[in-house]
């Protein structure tokens, strides 16, 4: 995951330390997510065909999301990061649903083509082991914990 790399690329362009010693704390929050299916990391689908294959793979099976969050306190220089994993189990996903999702295009813009909150997919979710907010890309409890640690 690239969250610490994202922060490293952004930090040099932001005033820190003595430059903002009288300022309120300023926090840089970066986050990223991948989907893991049968041990293979999946990022955003590169094509409609790849998105279609991803969803066919999930049909009747299981995938996991791994989300990472990295927070930098620009005033103190303190940095904290961690990750969260959620397992998602699916009922069969009909081909018509897959085609509608691809036609809409949203699945092309998310890790692994996985968007469990979509009204067409939601009824096809058998079980989620973890939190929905984490599957959607920003685990709230993890982010809150890291915020407290850097302040």
Residues of the chain with pLDDT > 70: what percent?
85
For every residue of 73-86, DSSP letters joined together read: ETTT--EEEEEEEE
For residue range 36-81, list pLDDT tens digits in order: 999 999 999 999 999 999 999 999 999 999 999 999 999 999 999 9
Q: Is the pLDDT of residue 25 over 80?
A: yes
How many domains, the chain?
1
For residue range 30-46, list pLDDT tens digits in order: 999 999 999 999 999 99
Count CB atoms within 10 A of the CB of residue 96.
9
Contact 81, 60 (CB under 8 A): no
Out of 18, 22, 32, 95, the active site residue is 32
The CATH number covering residue 22 comes to: 3.90.950.10
Catalytic site residue 82? no
9 vs 73, more confident: 73
pLDDT of residue 129: 98
For residues 80-84, average pLDDT = 98
Element (H, E) at 97: helix 95-104
């Amino acid at each position: 995951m690239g969250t610490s790399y994202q922060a490293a690329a952004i930090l040099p362009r932001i005033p820190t330390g003595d430059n903002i010693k009288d300022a309120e704390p300023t926090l840089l929050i970066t986050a990223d997510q991948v989907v893991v299916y049968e041990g293979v990391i999946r990022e955003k689908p590169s094509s409609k065909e790849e998105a279609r294959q991803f969803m066919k793979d999930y049909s009747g099976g299981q995938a996991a999301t791994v989300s990472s969050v990295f927070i930098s306190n620009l005033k103190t220089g303190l940095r904290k990061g961690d990750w969260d994993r959620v397992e998602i189990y699916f009922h069969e996903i009909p081909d018509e649903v897959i085609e509608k999702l691809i036609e809409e295009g949203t699945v092309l813009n998310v890790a692994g083509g996985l968007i469990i909150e979509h009204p067409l997919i939601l009824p096809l979710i058998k079980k989620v082991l973890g939190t929905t907010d984490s599957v959607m890309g920003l685990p709230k409890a993890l982010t809150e914990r890291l915020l407290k640690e850097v302040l």
